[in-house]
Amino acid sequence: MFISQNFEMDSFSQNPEFTIHSFFTFLDTTIMAVEFEGGVVIGADSRTTTGAYIANRVTDKLTPIHERIFCCRSGSAADTQAIADAVTYQLGFHSIELDEAPLVQTAASLFREMCYRYREELMAGIIVAGWDPRRGGQVYTVPVGGMMTRQPVSVGGSGSSYIYGYVDSNYRAGMSKEECLKFTAEALTLAMERDGSSGGVVRLAVISEQGVERQVILGNQLPKFSTV
Amino acid sequence: MATVSVCQYHRGGFSFENCKRNALLEADINKLGFSSPAARKTGTTICGVVYKDGVVLGADTRATEGMVVADKNCSKIHYISPNVYCCGAGTAADTEMTTQIISSNLELHSLSTGRLPRVATANRMLKQMLFRYQGYIGAALVLGGVDSTGPQLYSIYPHGSTDKLPYVTMGSGSLAAMAVFEDRYRPNMEEEEAKRLVRDAIAAGIFNDLGSGSNIDLCVITKGKVDYLRPHDVANKKGVREDKINGRPETGNYRYKHGTTGVLTKAVTHLNLEVVEESVQTMDTT
C-alpha cells in the first residue's frame, strides 16, 4: 500500500525539505486469499511506498483481526491501519458479548460498513479471510467503494491485474492446503515480478481450525519462472 | 469509558472547511505573484536503530524557513516519557506540539495505570491523532523507547500509518541515512557500534541533503537509563575570522594592505572652490 503525504509536489532538486513526494499510487500491493477444505490460505507482498521510495520493504500486510480471522490490506497504509484497528476493537467487543468465536462474515460486514460509509474519504481495498466453526474457511473481498462479496479465491491490489489470467486458469475447487500454498506463492511471485509497486518478500498464512501458521518466503527462495 | 486526557476528542469528525478556503486563498495570492509565508520546517535527517540493550535515536539540528536556515541548533529529539523519546521531521510547530500533547496524555495515562508507559501506547496515541487530522498535521516521527516488552522503534507518517522496524529513517535526508543503514546494520549490535552507525547515518544526511545540517544529536535509551547526547558530534564548526587587531577579531574589515595594487601613474587635479557660506546646526541628541 502507499503512504500519501500532501507536502511538496515539486521535484527533489527544487525543494529539499521533503524527499517524500506526494503522488497517489493506487492500490500498490498484491494480496490474495484462497479457500480450501478446512481453512484458508492468505498471502501478500511486503512493499510500502511513498512515491518512488520504498518506505518499508518488509511490511506485514496480513493483519490479525481475531484469533482465526485475518485481513489483507491494500490501498492507503494510514486508512487501512486505522480501519483494521477499529474493526479489531469492534470485533473483540462483539466476541466477548457473544461469548463465542465471531463469524468471518461478521468481520467482513464490519469492514464493509466502515468502507462504504466513509467511501469518499477512504482508499482501502481489503480481503477478509478466516475460519469459523459454522461455515469453515471463507474469503470475503471488500474492494474500494465498500462492496462485500464472498469468493472462493480473491486477489487485490495493483499487482492483481497481472495475475487474473493465471488465477482463473490455475484455480481448481477442492485443492489441498499444500496446493493452495504453492498456488498463492506462485501467483504472488508473478505479480511481484511485473508490478513495480509490489515486491520484497512473500508472506503467507494458513488459517484453519488448528490455528494460524505463518511463513515468509524470502526473495532468493521465490519460485522461479522462465524469464524472457 | 473515561479517557483521562488533556486533548478533548471531537464528536462528529473534524471540520476541514477552512482547509478549502486556505487553498483558495493560496491560489489567489500566487496569481498576484506573491507567496504566502512559509512555515518553518525541519528539513531534517532523523533515524533510529534497535541494538542489543535498547534503541539509539539520532537527529541533525537544522531548522529551515524556505531556503534560509532559521535555527542552526534546534533540538529535534523530543521527550515523551522517561523511557520513550521521539524524533520529529516536518513542520517544526506540528512535531513540537504533537509530541508535547502526547507526552502530557501519556503521563496522565501512566499515573492512571501505575506503570511505566509503553512505546506501543505512545504509537497508538500518535497515529490516532494524526489520522484524525488526515495529514494536515505535518509531523513525521521516529518513536523509540524501552519498556517491559523490550526495545521498540516505530516510524510514524503524517497521515497516521506506522511501521515497527529494527531501523528507520525519516525526513528529507532519509534516503542518505537509509543507504548507510542498509549497508552496515546488523541485529544485536553493541552500544558503541550502534552509536557510530547512527552518527554516520545522520552525517550522510547532513552532508548530502540541503535540508539537513549543523550538529548531530543522539539519544541512547536502555532499560532504566537515557543518555541524551546533545551535541554528540559538532560536524559543522563555524570558522574563526582571520582578521585580528590587537588580539580582538575585527569584524567586517575588508581593507587591503598598502601596496596590494600597484600604482602606475598618479595625477593630482586641484579643485578651486570658494567657500560661500558656512553654518553649523546642532541637533538635540538628549
List residues in chain A touching B: CB distance below 8 A: 3-7, 16-20, 48, 50, 53, 55-56, 58-59, 76-79, 81-82, 85, 121
**CATH fold group of domain A31-217:** Glutamine Phosphoribosylpyrophosphate, subunit 1, domain 1 (3.60.20)
**The predicted structure's pLDDT at residue B245:** 56
Contact B158, B20 (CB under 8 A): no
Q: Report strand pairing: B244-245 vs B248-249.
A: antiparallel
On the question of pLDDT at A21 being above 70, the answer is no
Please report whether residue B242 resides in a domain. no
Residue B134 maps to which CATH number? Answer: 3.60.20.10
Q: Which of B64, B131, B135 sits opposite A6 (nearest CB)?
A: B135
B231: preceding bond cis by omega (within 30 degrees): yes
**A:B CB pairs within 8 Å:** 77
Please report whether residue B197 resides in a domain. yes
Cell numbers 529551515 correspond to: B64
Reading the block at residue A71, the C-alpha cell is 485481513
In Å, how far from its chain's centre is CA B4? 30
Reading the block at residue A18, the C-alpha cell is 521533503
Q: Count of CB atoms within 10 A of residue A3's CB?
A: 27
- CA–CA separation, A206 and A224 (whole Å): 22
Q: Which of B41, B124, B157 sits opposite A78 (nearest CB)?
A: B157
B42 catalytic? Reply is no
Mutation site for B-interface testing, chosen from A17, A21, A59, A93 by largest number of B Cβ within 10 Å: A17
**The predicted structure's pLDDT at residue A24:** 37
On the question of pLDDT at A7 being above 50, the answer is no
On the question of pLDDT at A115 being above 80, the answer is yes
Reading the block at residue A161, the C-alpha cell is 491485474
Query: Which ipTM did the prediction report?
Result: 0.84
On the question of pLDDT at A17 being above 50, the answer is no
Q: ∠ at Cα B164 (B219, A26), nearest 5°? A: 125
Q: Which domain holds residue B198?
A: 45-61+73-232
If you ran DSSP here, which 8-state letter would residue A163 be given? T
Q: What is the pLDDT of residues B144-173, one digit of tens each?
A: 999 999 999 999 999 999 999 999 999 999
pTM across the whole model: 0.80
Reading the block at residue B100, the C-alpha cell is 508535547
**The predicted structure's pLDDT at residue B66:** 84
If you ran DSSP here, which 8-state letter would residue B116 be given? P
On the question of pLDDT at A67 being above 80, the answer is yes
Please report whether residue B188 resides in a domain. yes
In chain B, the residue whose alpha carbon lies closest to the alpha carbon of A12 is: B172
In chain A, the residue whose alpha carbon lies closest to the alpha carbon of B157 is: A3
Residue type, B127: K
pLDDT, averaged per 10 consecutive residues of chain B (286 residues), comes to: 55 72 84 72 87 96 88 93 96 94 97 96 97 94 96 95 96 95 96 96 94 93 93 82 60 77 92 90 89
> How far is the alpha carbon of A136 from chain B, nearest alpha carbon, in Å?
32
Q: What is the pLDDT of residues A204-224, one digit of tens each?
A: 999 999 999 999 999 999 999
Q: What is the pLDDT of residues A104-114, one digit of tens each?
A: 999 999 999 99
Q: Count of CB atoms within 10 A of residue A93's CB?
A: 10
Environment class of A211 (CB within 10 Å of its CB; exposed 0-12, middle 13-18, buried 19+): exposed
Reading the block at residue B213, the C-alpha cell is 545540517
**The predicted structure's pLDDT at residue B11:** 54
**For all residues of chain A together, what is the average pLDDT?**
88
Mutation site for A-interface testing, chosen from B42, B60, B136, B159 by largest number of A Cβ within 10 Å: B159
Instruction: Give me the catalytic one of A25, A29, A63, A184.
Output: A29
Please report whether residue B206 resides in a domain. yes
- CA–CA separation, B159 and A3 (whole Å): 7
Please report whether residue B240 resides in a domain. no
